Structure 1
Amino acid sequence: MEAILKIGVINTGGTISCVGNPLAPMTSVEFKAACQTHLDPILLQAFPDLQLDYVTDLAFPESATGMLDSTNLQPSDWCLIARAILERYDSVDGWIVLHGTDTMDFSGTALSMLLARFAADGTVLAELSKPVILTGSQVPLFHSPAPGTISGMSFNTDAFQNVCGAIAAAQAGIPGVCVFFDSLLMRGSRVVKADANQFRGFSSPNFPPIGQYGITLGLNPDLMPQPPVSPATSLDDQTARAGVLEQLDAIAADIDKAPVITLGAFPARYNPAEATALLAEMIRACLGKGISGLVLQSYGEGNFPSGNAREAAKGAIYQALDEANRAGVVIVDNTQVLQGAVDYNAYAAGAWLPKIGALNPVDMTVMASIAKLTVLIAARRKNGWTLDDVKYLMQTPLVGEMTDISRLDSRSNAVLLPGQSLTTFNGSGSLINDTKTGPQLRDSSGAVLWSMLEAPDKAALPGRLHIMGSGNLAFHSRNSELLWQSESGKDDCAAARLRLTQAADGCSVTLSIEDYGKSRTLWTKTVSL
């Protein structure tokens, strides 16, 4: 007898479960009945060992039907969805969350954050061991010829295909939050809504899809979310799960108290002589409302108008952002461009932003930044984090939401190839695998602070720098000859990372090798700036 695969289905509302004209969500009980009558018999043809467990007791208090068009979703609603998963975690093998498309790209990151717990240095304390697949549709799943009646599934809908793909993805057991839409399986923390009218409603502009569903589901193993680093960090562990639920209670209590908002750059009036600017007025107005976080949607590679094209520090916008920073507002400098990353060293028009405390989110989407920062700030009291801890975590990849520019990880990106580099988030220091000299630590001006090879043999270069699961860091020649190693490997180390950080006083940078499965440091190299 084959084992039964149990998948929990949480319907939150959205087009996929809407009927009528104009479209409005069915109740969860109505949706369950329609699925069991019309959908489940078809699904069992392809998935004979499948058992769907429809959740019917999740209700959003702001909705008359209990279901919610995601246009009206609030941060507190993320907590309700996360709780529905955590409280039933032992009862199913994975989850499908049916969600409206308007804010699915926010929820992908929010749920990833809420279903995990982190230490102040980014070490994972608890994380998903089962799949959570978000999906929805551009066309409703069911046809309703008259109020209160369902005649069957709708014609020419993407809803059925998206449900099939989500089930296939959940069946694969991929740990973490993903979004399935129009044949593509994507990291939940990487998606953006890209089209309001076509079936391909979502894209993942800065991270490739991790799978595609055609006749079968094809997966890219190099892009998969990693499983828990140890049984103790898995949500299968009751202690780990209890800690996440306790954190969720605190987040739910605080998530509406200190809002995070976004402000986009646009051509607007400013007067350098009078130090006035419309954007400055908008920033101060938001500051007066008690915001805790400000996500900028800057131009290009992170450029934001200062209010003074000649001397940024004299600009009204610069001064307003500086006031916000000194008031404890966390400022994140995203780009409004769909694809690409923030780089403060590219243009003088963006180089001033670190001076007012702006954080570099690299290639994180605006939606991911808003959701991540909202959750981090709401979790601050419970976890005893300082404001600097929140800022550090905001610039640290936690749930696959951004490219890791400052670390190598033995389980995912273990190799620094010739010409590649690690860098601190403000660009003050870099570890560059130079093709002629080998790995070197350099400051922002390019001055060499430390060389891994004292007398490099040019005939042996370029080479590859590799962090191993044992915790040993090794540099090999073009012919795989060992030229340098840290000799920090441990027999009981299974997951290690190399990290480049800047000291809080800005006077030094440190390379460190960490066994993050056991939360211990194996090797360090610190140099002064």
Structure 2
Amino acid sequence: MATPKEDPPILPTPLEVRVLQNEKVVMRKNSIGREKQDALKDAHVLILYTGGTFGMTPDAVGTLHPKSGFLEQKVREMDEFKFGGMPKVTIIEWEDPIDSSDMCPADWGRIAQTIEEHYWDYDGFVILQGTDTMAYTASALSFMLESLGKLVRRNLIMSVLCAASLEIPEVCIYSNDKLLRGNRTTKTFNMAVDAFHSPNHPVLALTGVETILEHGLILPYPRRRFSTFTNLHTNICVFHLVPGFDDDCITAYVEKHKREQPDAQAKAMVFALYGTGNAPLKKDGFLQVIQDALDAHIAVCVTTQCLHGRTQLDTYATGIKLLQMGVITSYDMTIESCVTKLAYLMGKGYRGPELKLNMETDLRGELSVLDVTGETDLTRPSSMTRKKVVKRMLSH
């Protein structure tokens, strides 16, 4: 990994933060006091470039490729980074930047380790990568960065501003004037500027002339010391159900696991079912193969194919049977969050009922808490639940 560059570039005009009665934070440009301006100027943000279009250069035929060293030059040429009174920026570029389609769990670990190495030297972190797998990276980091007390973001200029000035102890994605919780985000458009959305959770902040932060939605600061966990178990297969599907591919996956050594790495299967988590009732083979997987100690998680809404297995007969079998319910987690959370918890050593309990518990704001009426309550803090989870995890 390349060493940090010296003489870091500087960023645009400061922002003022003030709390309103409705628990929203409004930031106004050009209205900051001297004391806050000095504090912002003293802030230091680390930009980690892993790859992606922002730092790509064209080859002889015009095809874009990520290139180490190009980002720093590009940043120095941007007028927005030349205004005084803004946070210092240090850039670390991977010597071998990659396209986001090549991003894998080992790369998530590499990012997490870089943040851990520099955690006490910077006020916030901005990670640049391609957008295709960005939601997976954001979800994975939200679990791997344990007791995170600083902001980790994507999308350059406003990300640096926010990472220096906002107190948000979360992994976020900044896209098209929206700040989104990373493990709630999914890519919904492949060519649009407004590519990312948070289908089951409100945006954390909207930026513009006035930048409004939804203070009541921000996760509380952790009380434990920051650490990272990178030993993910990623032997996870996702099945997207279609009408008339063949059970044989699922059976083959289960049978292969049965033939492996007893100490083989844990496996999990995620099924994207219809609607609230519905599957064919008359197709007996499907329910049997699920039972076979559970009997073989393969974790089975059920999610919905719908972008909005939550998985509710107690609605239809098939779902009720799945619940009785003991499958994991994803509730309103994104598929990106679901698979990375599984990888994180299995890496922690959770299996069986303990894995199910933690998968169905809010750890990093990745799923919504229900109030006593059964309605989603996004503003009710679940810190007590997280404290109990932390205590359970300390024993692993």
Q: TM-score, normalised by structure 2?
A: 0.79
Q: Is the 8 A contact 1:25 1:69 kept in 2?
A: yes
Residue in 2 that maps onto 1:132: 152
Which letter maps to 2:66? Answer: P
Q: Highest CA radius of gyration, 1 or 2?
A: 1
With over 3 angstroms needed to count, the CA separation of the structure-2 counterparts of 1:519 and 1:334, relative to structure 1, is closer
Residue in 1 that maps onto 2:45: 7
Question: Of the candidates 277, 283, 287, which is equivalent to residue 254 of structure 2?
Answer: 287
- CA deviation vs aligned residue, 1:332-372 (integer Å, no higher than 9, x gap): 10001000011122222322212332111110011110111
2:332 is aligned with 1:363 = yes
Residue in 2 that maps onto 1:205: 199
Question: Of the candidates 320, 329, 341, which is equivalent to residue 351 of structure 1?
Answer: 320
Which letter maps to 1:176? Answer: E
Please state how far the C-alpha of 1:374 moved relative to its aligned partner.
1.3
In 1: Cα distance, 2:390 partner to 2:241 partner: 44
3-state SS of paired residue (2:71): helix
Residue in 2 that maps onto 1:452: none
Residue in 1 that maps onto 2:9: none
Moved over 3 A (4+): 288-291, 419-422, 514-520
In 2: Cα distance, 1:496 partner to 1:293 partner: 28
- CA deviation vs aligned residue, 1:47-80 (integer Å, no higher than 9, x gap): 6231111113x45xxxxxx111111111121111
2:58 is aligned with 1:22 = no
Question: Of the candidates 233, 238, 247, which is equivalent to residue 255 of structure 1?
Answer: 233
Question: How many residues are aligned here?
Answer: 341
> After superposition, where does 1:100-179 map in structure 2 within 5 Å?
100-116=130-146, 127-135=147-155, 163-171=156-164, 172-179=166-173
Q: Is the 8 A contact 1:78 1:107 kept in 2?
A: yes
In 2: Cα distance, 1:85 partner to 1:202 partner: 24
Residue in 2 that maps onto 1:408: none
2:103 is aligned with 1:73 = yes
Please state how far the C-alpha of 1:194 moved relative to its aligned partner.
0.8
TM-align CA RMSD? 2.7
Please state how far the C-alpha of 1:323 moved relative to its aligned partner.
0.8
Q: Is the 8 A contact 2:44 2:123 kept in 1?
A: yes
> After superposition, where does 1:479-518 map in structure 2 within 5 Å?
497=384
Residue in 1 that maps onto 2:19: none
Residue in 1 that maps onto 2:186: 192
In 2: Cα distance, 1:214 partner to 1:371 partner: 32
In 1: Cα distance, 2:280 partner to 2:117 partner: 47
Q: Normalized per residue, which structure has more strand?
A: 1
Question: Of the candidates 309, 315, 318, which is equivalent to residue 287 of structure 2?
Answer: 318
3-state SS of paired residue (1:87): helix
Please state how far the C-alpha of 1:304 moved relative to its aligned partner.
2.1
Q: Is the 8 A contact 2:220 2:383 kept in 1?
A: no
In 1: Cα distance, 2:158 partner to 2:354 partner: 38
Residue in 1 that maps onto 2:278: 303
2:209 is aligned with 1:220 = no
Q: Is the 8 A contact 2:363 2:389 kept in 1?
A: no
With over 3 angstroms needed to count, the CA separation of the structure-2 counterparts of 1:168 and 1:19, relative to structure 1, is same
Question: Of the candidates 251, 267, 271, which is equivalent to residue 243 of structure 2?
Answer: 267
Please state how far the C-alpha of 1:108 moved relative to its aligned partner.
1.2
Please state how far the C-alpha of 1:101 moved relative to its aligned partner.
0.8
Please state how far the C-alpha of 1:98 moved relative to its aligned partner.
0.7
In 2: Cα distance, 1:420 partner to 1:356 partner: 23
Question: Of the candidates 127, 130, 152, which is equivalent to residue 97 of structure 1?
Answer: 127
3-state SS of paired residue (1:340): coil
> After superposition, where does 1:372-451 map in structure 2 within 5 Å?
372-380=341-349, 385-405=350-370, 416=371, 419-420=373-374
Q: Is the 8 A contact 1:299 1:336 kept in 2?
A: yes
Structure 2 unaligned spans of 5+:
1-34, 258-265
3-state SS of paired residue (2:329): coil
2:106 is aligned with 1:85 = no
Which letter maps to 1:263? Answer: F
Q: TM-score, normalised by structure 1?
A: 0.60
- CA deviation vs aligned residue, 1:296-323 (integer Å, no higher than 9, x gap): 11100011235x25xxxxx111111111
2:79 is aligned with 1:55 = no
Please state how far the C-alpha of 1:234 moved relative to its aligned partner.
3.5
In 2: Cα distance, 1:6 partner to 1:281 partner: 55
Which letter maps to 2:252? Answer: A
3-state SS of paired residue (1:88): helix
Which letter maps to 1:18? Answer: M
3-state SS of paired residue (2:357): helix
With over 3 angstroms needed to count, the CA separation of the structure-2 counterparts of 1:420 and 1:302, relative to structure 1, is closer
Which letter maps to 1:209? Answer: V
3-state SS of paired residue (2:212): strand
Residue in 2 that maps onto 1:503: none
Aligned-residue sequence identity (percent) comes to: 25
3-state SS of paired residue (1:396): coil
With over 3 angstroms needed to count, the CA separation of the structure-2 counterparts of 1:79 and 1:518, relative to structure 1, is closer
With over 3 angstroms needed to count, the CA separation of the structure-2 counterparts of 1:67 and 1:165, relative to structure 1, is same
Q: Is the 8 A contact 1:265 1:305 kept in 2?
A: no
Structure 1 unaligned spans of 5+:
60-65, 117-126, 136-162, 236-240, 270-277, 310-314, 406-415, 423-466, 470-494, 500-513, 521-529
Higher relative contact order (CA 8 A, sep 6+): 2
- CA deviation vs aligned residue, 1:109-168 (integer Å, no higher than 9, x gap): 10011001xxxxxxxxxx111000123xxxxxxxxxxxxxxxxxxxxxxxxxxx222123
Q: Is the 8 A contact 1:108 1:188 kept in 2?
A: yes
Please state how far the C-alpha of 1:217 moved relative to its aligned partner.
2.5
Which letter maps to 1:191? Answer: T
3-state SS of paired residue (1:189): helix
In 1: Cα distance, 2:55 partner to 2:80 partner: 17
Q: Is the 8 A contact 1:318 1:356 kept in 2?
A: no
Which letter maps to 1:25? Answer: P
